[in-house]
Structure 1
């Protein structure tokens, strides 16, 4: 008697070649967000201001803003703020939003719908890409198990949450595809077409998100290293990669900025600087590839290494700001304010409140790094260098998250998927040979826990000192919103014509509320957490941080502020650390309101505070 279709599907999902496991992981991921009571998008909120800014940029473009105009004109008017995001990465969202708006939805409603759908579609592509890339390190029949392991790579999969429309999910997909392509380039055959595809993927990752720069350089450098190591057989693919990488980078510049901006060399957004960097990489690789035609291994190493060193020194001597990454060109004052107070911009060492939390952050990727080293030491000649590459990627991401910025944990978790998947494969075969009966069952359960929830969810959950709760059972939901601030009532009052939506107004807020002002209302904002908005953010910082309300009034009058908006509790940068004084923000929270501000009270405002600036005619300027 044939088994029911659902039984056949489940049997295939949990046994090699694991067909259907991607679907089950995707369904579980969506289910967690659907039933979690604090899923941000189900409450009309977003987990990150970047998501709203992407949607604002798309709405502005679809309503007539020029493709090559990167300025957010309502942020820090009248100059506006140059956005570093890529319109190319926003095209899929625009393709969803435009027809929905044509069918009658408001732009905001269309944006919510697109934000709910697109990350989940991207997750499906990502899980399939992981399986494809894993085939370079393990048998094809076992590569599908990477979907199960990836489910517990929580920092990585959180970038595919409903509502998470920032570029991180897309760039993670591109890096996985590029890694899979590089692994196939190492199979020893002439792979010229694959080399061109790899160049396209790396150039795409670079234009989508500048944070991918390290992985782009490491994978491009590995192509050059492999050319030097293998000689003539890799010369043509490497030349094709070098030329294609430069051509694609230049093409992306033409698609991203106006012709008048081609020669602007800024590290803060995709610019001619990154095309010059691509040219430097291409030249280094080309020299090494040419040496492969004429030299033995030692000669190739000397020539290729010397070329990379000389060209690298020359490049960074002219562009030293890029040595510390895309944020190297930030204004120093703003860098001090933002990088010291944005959680993901802190290193793991600084962010962890105690050693237990630090262990919780580092345990899973450190264990995966150890597993990768084990496979590297045990690998045969064919697989040895593949594990060397993966170990280097893991080491780089571990170092960056520990000592630079904890945001690189998403890459540490990503690269951890491969050794942990291989561990499940090897461990499964080992237990089948060594044990039987109950011992075999216990061994397999332990192995599944080890590569999945134990290191990535259960132990870190116990390191925060809190009891296990729904946050841990529904672990894919990492970013939650219990009570959005500002709540919907604030946005409605600011947007409705009968209240404050009758004309555009300039709103002074902390950085946290700026993106919401632009997305939910027709008004202008001064502050938002973007490194290109120097003047607006610093004016907001001075306004809320001063203990002298007259100084704050001067700033408000000089900028033409109409309304003041903030939420409690206050971010640390707006609080006065001296016990005997309070900043203006603290005074407002404590209802100690200067006479040039009029409080706007409404029962549904909850933790939000809204004030109207009295007109000059109703309040004399301070001397």
Structure 2
């Protein structure tokens, strides 16, 4: 009679796999997220200009623009449009979802539904990858806990909220897929998949290059130190997947022109040359069968140097980075204000705690797990996590938006500490110590860990307290909703034309209206961006010449926008200051929109009038 309950308990326990737990946690959390985010979803309040431009790209694709043609023709029409550096990999699921729903709901509602549903679905895929990847660590409990820890990583979750359709979620997801393959038992297949995922990451964003190189280094280090056949197969597979996959994904998403072009801000011929050189150098090293670790390390270092020479030799300008060619005025008034792309020391002191605390806690946990692990295979797994975390953390110091990947790799270390504390707490007999120990375990969740560190530091060091936004905004004009429904409808009623607007307003106007824009916040359009900034910073005659040269017939501003505020404060007599004061030059005339809105519109009078 006692066998049946035992079997039932065993069956119930077997049902609780890491993936199922991840999906349950994901479902519960996203019910809460959808309820809290519903007003923004219903109003389509996009929080980032890149989401707006992404949807413009998808709309053009669905309207018949070629799959291989990534030019945005409604931006900078005077020069024939802007070839975007983005990937169709990100466009594909969004466009596919709209195609599926459009016959049932129509284009506008289908877009809204996909923008709301796709990012959370993508998060579900990430949580599954986290559960599958971290189950290869020695402590299987981490695979159960890790999805919950992800949900408390604010820098990760913000990239998967409803309406967030840009590529940053893809970067995090693919980084996890690469680490998953690195934690799998060594084989050529695991290496090949890891290399293909790394190539896909690079196709989505060339910012993934340090990460792709990092995992190549991990695979190389494992083989160099051990020298066994399985690690050799993983290394060869990774390099083949990286080189072959980069070419494959580039051809699939950009066609033959994409294989021959040279761009520093996206996959192109110089990078292919580097990957092929690295793969060939690695294969040659393996073929030589060096017997000693130092020989393998030396030869593999030569292969890495060969790859660097191939990149710099074919495109020396790429050694300076993708933003080196920006006009100084664009760098000053736009690029330096994009905080997510700046080094961590450009952030506010309080924000630095939230950027660094999860990474530091994860490193401490992973190091402790490595030291306490008795099994050599388990120590190698934790060493892999440690090296991946160290590399991602180093990148995040230079580019703040990379903190999400660092936090992703910090999760197993944080969870290792949390699981041990939780187990310790459950074993306590007295209630009060058990509650306190449980709270300590909860404090290992990244968000709570950051808060637990920020609060006492703020007491001791007032400079680390959060900035009072009300005080910081005291010198700004009253915030206005410049993209309210009435204002957008009024702009829609105007005949389609070319608009010159402050850069940050450009992409939303592309999304919401049929008009063309001189510039949006996308760096490949650097000349038009520079001209746009010079229009608002210049005197009347210079501004007029630039506006007419760009073919703009309307100027649209939002009085309370950050960039427009920056322009008008730069000089007391520049065009932005004149427009703000309601004293436009003679070559502009106001265009009444007939509604109360934060937007102000001026029409460019015909030349000579």
- Partners of 1:577 and 1:529 in 2: how far apart? 19
Q: Structure 1 21/236 Cα, relative in aligned 2: closer, same or farther at 3 Å? A: closer
| Equivalent of 2:413 in 415, 419, 441 | 419
| Equivalent in the alignment of 2:238 | 241
Displacement of 1:259 in angstroms is: 1.9
The alpha-carbon distance between structure 1 residues 540 and 346, as it changes in their structure 2 partners (threshold 3 A), is: same
Tell me which residue corresponds to 1:170.
170
Question: For 1:260 and 1:452, how far apart are their aligned partners in 2?
Answer: 44
1:309-458 residue pairs with structure 2 within 5 A?
A: 309-328=305-324, 330=326, 334-352=330-348, 355-380=349-374, 381-402=376-397, 404-432=398-426, 436-457=430-451
Deviation at 1:409, TM superposition (A): 1.7
Structure number with greater CO (CA < 8 Å, separation at least 6) is 1
* In the alignment, structure 1 residue 485 sits paired with structure 2 residue 482: yes
Equivalent residue, structure 2, for 1:4: none
Note closer, same or farther for the CA distance 1:573–1:287 as it changes in structure 2 (3 Å cut): farther
Distance in 1 (CA, whole Å) between partners of 2:33 and 2:468 is: 19
What SS does the aligned partner of 2:337 have?
A: coil
Map Cα deviations across residues 203-245 of structure 1 (whole Å, 9 max, x no partner).
Answer: 1111112221111111122112212222132223322332232
The answer to whether the Cα contact below 8 Å between 2:98 and 2:114 also exists between their aligned partners in 1 is yes
Distance 1:181 1:126 in 2: 14
Q: In the superposition, relative to structure 1, how do residues 281 and 450 fare at CA in structure 2: closer, same or farther (>3 Å)?
A: same
Cα shift at 1:377: 3.2
1:87-98 mapped onto 2 (5 Å cutoff): 87-98=88-99
Question: Which residue of 504, 508, 511 maps to 1:516?
Answer: 508
Distance 2:197 2:591 in 1: 51
Alpha-carbon shift at residue 301 of structure 1 (Å): 2.1
Q: 1:287 to 1:425 in 2, by over 3 A?
A: farther
Does the CA contact (< 8 Å) of 2:278 and 2:306 recur in 1? no
What SS is found at the alignment partner of 2:499? strand
RMSD of aligned residue pairs (Cα, Å): 3.0
Q: CA shift at 1:577, angstroms?
A: 8.1
State which drifts further: 243-252 or 173-182.
243-252
Report 1:97-108 matches (<5 A).
Answer: 97-103=98-104, 105-106=106-107, 108=108
Q: Label 1:33 to 1:586 Cα distance change in 2 as closer, same or farther (>3 A).
A: farther
- 1:549-577, Cα deviation, whole Å (9 max, x unpaired): 22212222222211111113243576358
Q: Which moved more, 1:557-566 or 1:599-608?
A: 599-608
Which residue among 592, 611, 621 is the counterpart of 2:602? Answer: 611
TM-score normalised over the length of structure 2: 0.87
Q: Which moved more, 1:522-531 or 1:596-605?
A: 596-605
Instruction: Tell me the equivalent position of 2:115.
Output: 115
Kindly state the Cα deviation for residue 376 of structure 1 after the two structures are TM-superposed: 3.1
Q: SS of the counterpart of 1:181?
A: helix
Q: Deviations over 1:288-338 (max 9, x none)?
A: 4334x3423232222222332344345334434434544456556544443
Aligned twin of 1:589:
580
Aligned to 1:575: 566
Count of matched residue positions in the alignment of Structure 1 and Structure 2: 581
- Unaligned 5+ segments in structure 1 are 1-7, 469-481
Q: What secondary structure sits across from 2:76 in the alignment?
A: coil
Give, in whole Å, the separation in 1 of the partners of 2:196 and 2:392: 23
Q: By how many angstroms is 1:283 displaced?
A: 2.3
Moved more, 411-420 or 15-24: 15-24
What CA distance in whole angstroms lies between the structure 2 residues aligned with 1:432 and 1:14? Answer: 23
1:269 is the counterpart of 2:266 = yes
In the alignment, the residues of structure 2 paired with residue 76 and residue 161 of structure 1 have an alpha-carbon distance, to the nearest angstrom, of 31
Structure 2 residue aligned with 1:529, among 521, 524, 530? 521
1:225 corresponds to 2:217? no
Between 48-57 and 363-372, the greater mean CA deviation after superposition: 363-372
**Post-superposition CA distance 1:427-473 (Å, at most 9, x none):** 233444566543223212221133254224565587553799xxxxx
Q: Which residue of 2 aligns with 1:479?
A: none
Tell me the equivalent position of 1:143: 143
Counterpart pick for 2:591 among 600, 609, 620 = 600
Matches within 5 A, 1:546-561: 546=538, 548-561=539-552
Aligned residue for 1:205, secondary structure, equals helix
Where does residue 68 of structure 1 map in the other structure? Answer: 68
Match of 2:3 in 1: none
Distance 1:113 1:18 in 2: 26
Distance 1:208 1:435, change over 3 A: farther
Counterparts of 2:119 and 2:19 in 1: how far apart (Å)? Answer: 23
Relative distance call for 1:328 and 1:33 in structure 2 (3 A) is farther
Taking the aligned partners of 1:321 and 1:386, their CA distance within structure 2 comes to: 38
d(CA) in 2 for partners of 1:579, 1:307: 50
CA distance in 2 between counterparts of 1:85 and 1:612 reads: 33
